[in-house]
Amino acid sequence: MGKELKQLKDLFQEVVQFIRINHTEIIDKAYSYYWDGENPDEFLGGTALSLGFHNFEDWMVFNYKVSEEGETFVDLFMKSQGLSDDAASILRRANDSVLSLYEVISVAKDKRVLLKDILLDREVELRDKTMTQGLKKGDLFATRILKLDGKDVMGGCVYPYLSSHKKQILAYIARQFKRYTKNVKQAGTLKDYLKDYGDVFNLIWMNFIVNPPEAKD
């Protein structure tokens, strides 16, 4: 594990602890918003429930808006702490990142994985074998990609989907983005939308679990 990646993991836990100590009352509000008022314990279990909770923490730290000015918990944490320049830089990069939808284009023999960012139209190469284990061509998932230690790495969240759901996901996001530019930010880009409403990937993931599409003959 690279130095910056390890430092981000440590900083992430510090932010989570900061939230628990100083903003306990907001956690329940954020949790209800993230799960659209549903109780994940009622439709998730085991690994899926653990994944859902970890995804929530990641979103709460980097995406949830805690003020009318659009500040995140990372913004509040950085204001209250005397961070080194390196730590501040790493947190800013993570805080500026967006969740997006990725498809595995190829997996090399040395386990390097080439991803296509379907929404933002770019390609990303992952070289960390510990993060790419088990991935295969055609896999579809949402995550955040960070530039750390001079290379692209996956963040600490993942929303797995079936490849057959790709068109439905893209159609849903297109509809939501259209509403965003009509009602929230007329000049907003798709990247703006993904930063402001990264929880869309959890809503999609949750909906496929609660209301699975009917199998076609």
Q: What residue ranges do the domains of the chain occupy?
A: 3-96, 99-161, 164-210
- Residue 130: the pLDDT is 67
- Residue 58: the pLDDT is 96
Where residue 70 falls among pLDDT bands split at 50, 70, 90?
A: confident
Burial class (CB in 10 A: 0-12, 13-18, 19+), 33: middle
Residues of the chain with pLDDT > 70, as a percent, come to 96
Question: Mean pLDDT over residues 113-141, rounded?
Answer: 89
- Architecture of the CATH domain 99-161: Beta Barrel (2.40)
- Residue 56: the pLDDT is 97
Give bridge partners of residue 143 from the DSSP assignment: 100
* pLDDT tens-digit readout, 194-206: 999 999 999 999 9
Q: Are 115 and 103 in contact (CB under 8 A)?
A: yes
Tokens of 59: 């979103």
Question: Mean pLDDT over residues 138-149, rounded?
Answer: 94
Tokens of 5: 């990646």
